[in-house]
A and B are shown apart, each in its own frame.
Chain A
Amino acid sequence: MSADMSGAASRANGWTVAEARDALRKGEVTAVDLTMACLTAIDAGDGLNAFVHKTPELALEQARAADARLAGGDAPAMCGIPVGVKDLFAVKGVPTQAGSNILRGFRPEYDSTVTAKLWGAGAVCLGKLNMDEFAMGSSNESSCYGPAVNPWKVDDRQLTPGGSSGGSAAAVAADLCLAALGTDTGGSIRQPAAFCGITGIKPTYGRVSRWGIVAYASSLDQAGPMTRTVRDAAIVLEAMAGHDPKDSTSAELAVPDFEAALTGDIRGKKIGIPREYRLDGMPTEIAALWDRGMDMMRDAGAEIVDISLPHTKYALPTYYVIAPAEASSNLARYDGVRYGHRAKLAQGDGITEMYEKTRAEGFGPEVQRRIMAGTYVLSAGFYDAYYNRARKVRALIKRDFELAFAAGIDAILAPATPSSAFGLGEQGGADPVEMYLNDVFTVTLNLAGLPGVAVPVGLDAKGLPLGLQLIGRPWEEADLLNHAYVLERAAGFVAKPGKWW
């Protein structure tokens, strides 16, 4: 930390992106000071196991360059803003392992489109963030680095930050960075955001380039920001988004000014409440939170409308056919031939033994389970019964949403998670499906390709954060963020985890 750094700047790691941006432009703080504050917090936050590869040298180099740009008056919004990057994004020269042993030692020769855009805009890379292996998990426990830990703690138990972007959520909630990059295939941004009391948005499929992001399930994966406020989400998303000719599934659409859309005015908007999301046995706290959310939207002048999304109950099984199917193929490239881990072979072992040993050693049990499930549903004789049927159901789920939006609904309000954060080691030990149920409110959007945002709305009786989810029309992230902004302001969620780490 520079000697002349003010007391305020030493706590700048806790600022919002918007605050930091404004202070940087006014010259009240330097990018180097801001970065030093984050690096100090990161080093002090090792107990959270959020950062798995720290990049202090790269960060300071980028911060100095950002300061030069700021001095020159050429400063995009992200210039000088220190961010953490989920280990799924390729960052040139920096270990990129997707939380897996099979990519041990892998340092890509390229940056993902998203990170390249951020660095191009002057953002500062603090390091790589913990995650479930290949983004498969809802608790961060499948990570090869061991789980990240939720900074929220109400008793002697360590809690999950959620997953798969658990490291990202924990780092933002614990003020280790101003914002983090996450990815969301079935809820991997929104669920950890809700568990850690922060904001996370999964954009419309095709809004953000997937190039350079390690693939889990290609037709579902989408990157998005995880931040402390809705405004920050708008700022970071704008820097991440945009058409990329290197990703054939990226949309050729202009990126709107998301921040400018945050007017706080949703008068006359129709908010859909899907009756199928009111699950049997839903905790009363979740139901009450949802009701409070409806009141907040109603008080802001929106109309609350009861809607039906009849195929919701098929979403989870559909997801757990399609995602593993694509994953089984996407992960075939991790074979020990070109990069990453290769097993030591015995005398006489051939190529088959090399594949088997390498993949058995390199992939953890959850990844192996999904590869096997995916291989099974794509195999001859089962393809129609599973994969093809799932594709058809997926179309029906998408149509449910289309009909709701066609009927005039502007946004859909639902819980983000069926519970608050649970203890590490408490779920999925005996039955993996228990863990899969965490995605029940989130997977539908991925199947439909829609944007969704999780916003912290309150604390449960234990004192843990709970979030609500807003679902928007395709490509209408600006409008969706404005709805989230209204919810955020009405909820007035300002609680922070007490520092125990």
Chain B
Amino acid sequence: MLDLTYTAPTPKVIAGAKHDWELVIGMEIHAQVSSNAKLFSGASTTFGAEPNANVAFVDAAMPGMLPVINDFCVEQAVRTGLGLKAQINLFSAFDRKNYFYPDLPQGYQISQLYHPIVGEGEVLVELSPGVARLVRIERIHLEQDAGKSIHDMDPAMSFVDLNRTGVALMEIVSRPDIRGPEEAAAYVAKLRQILRYLGTCDGNMQNGNLRADVNVSVCRPGQYEKYQETQDFSHLGTRCEIKNMNSMRFIQLAIDYEARRQIAILEDGGKVDQETRLYDPDKNETRSMRSKEEAFDYRYFPDPDLLPLEIEQAWVDDIAARMPELPDAKKARFMGAFGLTDYDASVLTADLESAGFFESVAQGRDGKTAANWVINELFGRLNKVGLSIADSPVSAAQLGGMLDLLASGEITGKMAKDLFEILWTEGGDPAEHAAKHGMKAVTDTAEIERALDALIAANPEQVEKARVNAKLAGWFTGQVLKATGGKANPAVVNAMVAQKLGL
């Protein structure tokens, strides 16, 4: 396999009124675990059900109800940890985070403060070919999601939907290794890609299945390097946390706004208050939610209803043995095995469906040609009409069959494009369509020779010009192709022109 090496990107620098500033960003990603049942109850996790349809007694915190861990959610967290090359903690434990809110029926969220199930790991975030940021993961813990409070349905009443209450979340906490808005978006995208490869989170940001809390601070150039040397946070600025972001675009806008807000305060001689802020996309600004000093005291303590979670190394090994190929490895393999460029390999490995489609097209064929057709013709066409690869009207087998006709010279490139069009609209077998529509490259050299000889005889000036300037020989090729109605193989014609003109 190809061993890809990367250089680190330069951090984003914002020029203030007085001097330059750099950004330091850490993220907490809340990823909903893909599972049929909730973390501590058997209730369904299906999105979009009638309000309060997916609520077990334990989710509604009825008196005397007790949580029982869903083993599959634990397995998903372990799988995620392995996918992020992280330490798997064989001993972890659940704690209660206590606060009152109507969509939190227990009055506490079951989480893992003191002993998370996953420890340190890393994510390689590629920003452009050959340039990538290695973001360290601090921890991943399992916790319950809250329900939904609805305040805008009635002037006097609030409503509560507990369908999401108790659904398993993984909170993936990064170190402050992200250095700009684009890097932040790329980090979320990469994490999302890995989670989707693993099948541990569907990554649907619109439904809130992947949400980010973004910690932003600014510092003068050079300070961050001091932090990296010592891991001493005092070299960095005071951070603010922007809560609950579920759009890549808004994440970037919010970070940029927040950094500039902090810079303005600092250059004005002020002090940034550590606080939680919310991003308002309508006004493109962040607003203070509440100061962390005034924030709730969550009174974390070990949940006495749950025993510590102890898992076996053999079980972890078994999960590791069943891991799918992850994006970085797949990309390297595509570059090595199919001779793809870094860019093409990235595009084709963006998601599993595209990669799988490409691979079945490329199998036993020329990889570069397959990549060109998949990316330029197929993806281009799909994007235009807003279809996903799963809904592609042209299957991998059809596209592969067409490429076989092209590779064997039975059809020309132009015919291939026409054939692709037919396959897109009508479906069916490529070879049958080619036969039916008379798509057959002229491989009979005698016919080409006759046409060429006639041209040479009729155009002595052109012959002279071509002998002086070989580039002008292309005129003959074009005329032969025209004369044969585009059915001749251009390479064959080219060769014959060169031979006849003695070039």
Contact = CB atoms under 8 A, between A and B. Distances in A.
Interface of A: 89-90, 96, 98, 103, 106, 108-110, 112, 210-215, 217-219, 245-249, 325-326, 328-329, 331-333, 335, 337-339, 351, 355, 375, 378-380, 383, 387
A335 B64 contact: no
B105 A337 contact: yes
Contact of A378 (B160, B299, B304): B299
Contacts of A333: 61, 63, 105-107
21 contacts: A89-B64, A110-B57, A210-B66, A212-B64, A214-B63, A215-B305, A246-B68, A249-B306, A249-B307, A328-B98, A329-B98, A329-B107, A329-B108, A329-B299, A329-B301, A333-B107, A338-B105, A339-B62, A351-B158, A378-B98, A378-B301
Contacts of A378: 98, 299-301
A337 B108 contact: no
Nearest to B298: A380
Contact of A338 (B60, B67, B101, B305): B60
B119 interface: no
Given A332-B100, A378-B98, 4 more contacts: A212-B64, A214-B64, A247-B66, A383-B299
A338 B65 CA distance: 14
B66 A103 contact: no
Interface in B15-62: 57, 60-62
B64 A337 contact: no
SS of A interface (majority): loop
B301 A96 contact: no
B301 A325 contact: yes
A211 B306 CA distance: 12
Most buried by B among A326, A337, A378: A337
Interface residues of B, number: 30
B156 to A, nearest CB: 10
A216 to B, nearest CB: 11
A307 B65 CA distance: 40
A335 B68 CA distance: 23
B68 A248 contact: yes
A142 B57 CA distance: 28
A379 B106 contact: no
Contacts of B63: 90, 96, 98, 103, 106, 108, 214-215, 333
Interface in B268-321: 297, 299-301, 304-307
A96 B67 CA distance: 20
A213 B64 contact: yes
A380 B297 contact: yes
Interface string B108-151: 10000000000000000000000000000000000000000000
Given A248-B307, A325-B301, A355 B100 contact: yes
B102 interface: yes
B347 interface: no
A126 to B, nearest CB: 20
A247 B301 CA distance: 19
A213 B64 CA distance: 4
B96 interface: yes
Contact of B299 (A217, A245, A355, A375): A375
A247 B63 CA distance: 14
B69 interface: yes
Contacts of B100: 332, 335, 355
B57 A332 contact: no
Contacts of B304: 217-219, 249, 326
A476 B286 CA distance: 62
Nearest to B68: A248
A217 B96 CA distance: 14
A332 B101 CA distance: 10
Contacts of A103: 63
Contacts of A247: 66, 68
A90 B64 contact: yes
A328 B305 CA distance: 14
A89 B320 CA distance: 44
A110 B62 contact: yes
Contacts of B160: 337
Interface string B347-364: 000000000000000000
Contacts of A211: 64-66
Contacts of B102: 335, 337, 351
Contacts of A380: 297, 299
Interface in B82-102: 96, 98, 100-102
A375 B99 CA distance: 11
B40 to A, nearest CB: 9
The 8 closest A-B pairs by CB, nearest first: A332-B107, A218-B304, A219-B304, A378-B299, A333-B61, A212-B64, A214-B63, A380-B297
A215 B61 CA distance: 11
Contacts of B57: 109-110
Nearest to B309: A248
Contacts of A325: 301
A210 B63 CA distance: 11
Contacts of B105: 333, 337-338
B297 A329 contact: no
B301 A245 contact: no
A331 B300 CA distance: 15
Most buried by A among B67, B102, B307: B102
Nearest to A355: B100
Interface string B251-266: 0000000000000000
Nearest to B94: A248
A387 B60 contact: no
B296 to A, nearest CB: 10
A434 B202 CA distance: 58
A214 B158 CA distance: 28
A246 B68 CA distance: 6
Nearest to A337: B102
A339 B65 CA distance: 14
A445 B177 CA distance: 51
A98 B60 CA distance: 18
Nearest to A354: B102
Contacts of A215: 63-64, 305
B108 A332 contact: yes
B108 A218 contact: no
Contacts of B306: 248-249
A218 B61 contact: no
B470 to A, nearest CB: 83
Contacts of A210: 64, 66
B301 A218 contact: no
A387 B64 contact: no
A326 B107 CA distance: 12
Contacts of A331: 107
Contacts of B98: 328-329, 332, 378
B275 to A, nearest CB: 18
Contacts of B67: 248
A82 B66 CA distance: 28
Contacts of A337: 102, 105, 160
Given A110-B57, A338-B105, A245 B297 contact: no
B37 to A, nearest CB: 14
B305 A332 contact: no
Contacts of B68: 245-248
B411 to A, nearest CB: 64
Nearest to B299: A378
A458 to B, nearest CB: 37
A315 B11 CA distance: 58
B301 A112 contact: no
A380 B300 CA distance: 9
Contacts of B107: 329, 331-333, 335
B58 to A, nearest CB: 9
B149 to A, nearest CB: 9
Given A108-B62, A214-B63, A329 B96 contact: yes
A248 B305 contact: yes
Nearest to A112: B64
Contacts of B106: 332-333
A110 B58 CA distance: 12
A156 B62 CA distance: 42
